[in-house]
Structures are given as C-alpha cells and as structure tokens.
Chain A
Amino acid sequence: MTAAILALQGAFAEHEALLHTLGIDTVELREEKDLDNPFDFLVLPGGESTVQGKLLHELDMFDELKKRIAAGLPVFATCAGLILLAEKIENDDKRYFQALPVTVRRNAYGRQLGSHRITLSLKGIGEVPATFIRAPYITSASPDVEVLAREDDEIVAVRYRHILALSFHPELDMDEKLYRYFLKHVVKEDAQAEKVLPFSA
C-alpha cells in the first residue's frame, strides 16, 4: 500500500517515518507531475496552512486533489491538514478543499505559549498522546460527522466518511494507534464499500 504525502511545507517527514515503520510506502507530492504516481490514500501534514494552500494552487495540484478527495480518496489530516479540509474557517476568508463539513478556528489556542500536550481518549481507539502546536479546533460539525474526541468542550478529532482529521500530531509522538485505526477502518472500509481503491492516475 502506498501513501501520498503532501510535501509542500511542514512536518511531512515525520509522517513518512511513521508510515514506513508500518510497512507502507510513501510518495511525496511537491508538484503536479507527482500526482502521476499511483497511491491509495493521502496524508495532509502539519505546517502552515496558508503556505500549503497557496502552493497547492501555484504548483497546479489543487484542482486534481480536490476532485479526488471529493470522489472518495481516503485522507489522514493533521493540524494544517484539518484546516485545508474544512468547509469553513471561522477566522480566515480563505477556503481550500472544503471536503469536511465542519467549521474550524485557526490558532485556536493562541500563540506558541498555548501549544500543549495531553493524554486524549478517542472513541473506539483508546488513549493516545496528543501534541497541539498552534493548533486549530473544530467549533461546529455537521451531524453526520463522527466526533472521536474533545478536549474540554472543543472537538479535536473527527471521522467523516473517508476522512480522518485531527487538531494534533500523532506523527510527532510516533504513536501508531491512529494510523492503524485509519488503515483498518477508513482505507479498507472505503475500498470495500465504494470500490474507490486503488487510486491511480
């Protein structure tokens, strides 16, 4: 199985390293021609969503990826990746893939002093370390979005059809649980249910 990792800016190498420990191959998406590589699911890493969003357009990957995500390409998204997927961003006029019917708040915990680490309990997954770096959270979600975890009252992990989106960074803590959940329940389920796999150009 092969994962495509958006490698425009941010902490994509950490996702790659973790996926390699699970025996999954990775390809990096840096420009349009990289989309010609066959892959089974997409990882949207942490970083700056403004930078990634701009480069997605300027390096001519946005439309094709948006189309594939809308068509059911499984997506594992962390932090900036959650912002790229959100239908609405509360404190920003920009919009990106809009594949996830939620509203997010960018930099919801404030500046770097608001970055924090907790142990978080996720529905169906159990306890995981959760590292939030200038993180967003979800302020509202459509009823068909499954909320997997909240910190205090704020939604920080969701599953919606073929999408798993998190405010925090399991790749920084080298925690496999969420990846295993994603592979077992999101990638495979979708493959059987909607026959969208394998995804190749």
Chain B
Amino acid sequence: MAARDDSPETRYELNKDLAKMLKGGVIMDVTTPEQARIAEDAGACAVMALERIPADIRAAGGVSRMSDPAMIKGIQEAVSIPVMAKCRIGHFVEAQILEAIEIDYIDESEVLSPADDVYHIDKRKFKVPFVCGAKDLGEALRRIAEGASMIRTKGEPGTGDVVQAVSHMRRMNSEIRRVVSMREDELFEEAKQLQVPCDLVKYVHDNGKLPVVNFAAGGVATPADAALMMQLGAEGVFVGSGIFKSGNPAKRAAAIVKAVTNYTDAKLIAQLSENLGEAMVGINKDEIELLMAERGK
C-alpha cells in the first residue's frame, strides 16, 4: 500500500487544490435538500448549506448561527457535488462540528453573527478547508495566514446589490498590481502596512495573484452580475439570495452558470438574460443598517 502523506502542509495543498477544481463554477446557497437538487441540476459546482439565506437573515435580525447538522447532512445526502457550510467568525467549535460531519468546505462567514470580535479561527488546526471573505488584499492575506485555502469577496450579502463585490474585487486586484510593481526591498514595508507575513507579500509580488483561488460573492443576482465579476478577475462566483429569492430559481441558476463559463460572450449572455422572471427585489447598501462586510477584518 502506497503511503499517504498526511502532513498539515500536504493537507493544505489538497485543500487549495479542491478550490481549483471549483474554478469557473457557481456555488449556490441552499436551505433544503430540494433546493440543493435544483442547484445541482442547474449546474452548481458546489452548494452552501444554510438554514436561512442572507436576505432572510437580514430580515429576521437577531443572532444567526451555524445550521443544524441534521439539515446539513440532509443536503450532503441529496447531492454528489461538494457541500459547504458556514460557521461564525471565531467560533472554532462550530468549525469542529462541521469537520466532524465531514463538510467539504467551511465558510467562516460574516453573514452569521460573529462569535469573536477580535480573533478569527486558527484554520491551520483543521483538516477540512476554509473559505473566508475579504474586501481588500490585507484581509485576504491575513485570512490566508490563518489557514484559509480559498478567498471570496465579502460583497454585501443578502442585498442583490453587486456594488460592494465590485468594489472589493477592484480594490484587491489594484492592490495586487501595486505589490507586483514594487521593488523587492519595498515588500517588507508593504507587509507591515498590510499587517501580513512577508512571505505572502512576496508570493503576490512574484506571481501577480493570491496564493489561493479567489471567488466573487455578495450581491450577485443576474447572469450579467456574474459575468461582470468574472471579467473583473473573479475565478468563480458564489450566489446566495439571488437565486432562491427570484421568480424562477432553476432557470436563473442555469443562466448564471452559463454566463460564468462564457463570461465574455455578450451575445450569449444577452440570450441568457431573456425572460428570467423577476430578479430578487434587492436592497441598496445605503438603505441597510447592518454592513456585514464590516465584520471580521
């Protein structure tokens, strides 16, 4: 029997590799096994199992927590694609529970109420992978230093308003371009300013990208939104409330999947955008009191 290398370093590589397999795909929020099957049939490359989608979390207020493990298991049994689930920022016991039920990816998410107002989870202690939100390069590299193996923009979840996701993706990529253009002896100061380890800044400088896959998330509601994020440099897209808060979830989900694959083909995206039914109503970021993107920096 060939020896399996199970060192933490290899486990981290394997976890980054799973994110690579998700590239060019759409990860959809689902709250029931039925929705999970609709998402899988529509071409989702993974689903995010949660009790309430962000728009409803926003509407309900109060404290929102990790979902019931029984509900997550129901979704794991319903589909063959990877299943992700969210835990609260800093709540490492919720993360331990998700690892115990063999979740494929944990989202340490600002969509839920933070459990710790200072510390994020030490994600290096886990065998299962983590994805974390970020709105700029500093946040992204801090999460990676803590062990995240995938990054997504925070956007502004549950709004159907793509403006924050656009702003985060643009900021992250312009900061990456700035780091690339630096002299090597300037990288130490940059690491200090970003409050991140030097080796991660060096990686960005040498490679012109994050050391992990970077998806767009937070406010994507239409095929055009998804293609916009791809053209801005996202490697894939999370769609939360945008699908199951819309008039025809199956059709909209399938259209978003195709728009992500062919994100530069305007003619095709035009066809895909026809007769999708009602989009989620959406709320403007200036109309909301709670900016989830400000949680966990």
Report yes or no: B128 in contact with A112, Cβ–Cβ below 8 A. yes
Report yes or no: B258 in contact with A113, Cβ–Cβ below 8 A. no
Report yes or no: B44 in contact with A51, Cβ–Cβ below 8 A. yes
Q: How far is the CA of A191 from the CA of B2 in the complex (A)?
A: 35
Report yes or no: A10 in contact with B81, Cβ–Cβ below 8 A. no
Q: A111-B102, A113-B102 are in contact. Are A7 and B24 (CB under 8 A)?
A: yes
Interface size counted on chain A using CB atoms at 8 A: 42
Report yes or no: A50 in contact with B81, Cβ–Cβ below 8 A. yes
Our pick among B3, B254, B261 for the contact of A9 (Cβ within 8 Å) is: B261
Question: In terms of DSSP, what is the predominant structure of the interface of chain A?
Answer: loop
Task: Give the Cβ gap from B145 to chain A, nearest Cβ, in Å.
Answer: 21
Chain B residues within an 8 Å CB radius of A119: 2-3
Report yes or no: A55 in contact with B4, Cβ–Cβ below 8 A. no
Report yes or no: B43 in contact with A11, Cβ–Cβ below 8 A. no
Report yes or no: A10 in contact with B17, Cβ–Cβ below 8 A. no
Closest residue of B by beta carbon distance from A171: B20
Chain A residues within an 8 Å CB radius of B1: 152
Q: Which of B21-58 contact A (CB under 8 A)?
A: 21-25, 40-41, 43-46
Chain B residues within an 8 Å CB radius of A133: 14, 17-18, 21
- Interface size bucket, B side? 35 or more
Binds A, one of B5-13, B153-161, B194-202: B5-13
List 19 extra interface pairs beyond A31-B265, A111-B82, A113-B128, CB under 8 A.
A7-B261, A9-B25, A11-B17, A12-B24, A30-B261, A47-B23, A51-B44, A51-B81, A54-B43, A80-B21, A111-B76, A112-B15, A112-B82, A116-B4, A116-B6, A117-B10, A118-B2, A131-B17, A172-B17
Seen from chain A, the residues whose Cβ lies within 8 Å of a Cβ on chain B are 7-14, 30-31, 46-48, 50-51, 54-55, 58-59, 79-80, 91-92, 106-107, 110-113, 115-120, 131, 133-134, 151-152, 169, 172
Seen from chain B, the residues whose Cβ lies within 8 Å of a Cβ on chain A are 1-6, 10, 13-15, 17-18, 20-25, 40-41, 43-46, 76, 80-83, 102-105, 127-129, 254, 257-258, 260-262, 265, 268
Closest 9 A-B residue pairs measured CB to CB? A118-B2, A112-B104, A9-B24, A11-B20, A48-B45, A115-B14, A116-B4, A111-B102, A9-B25
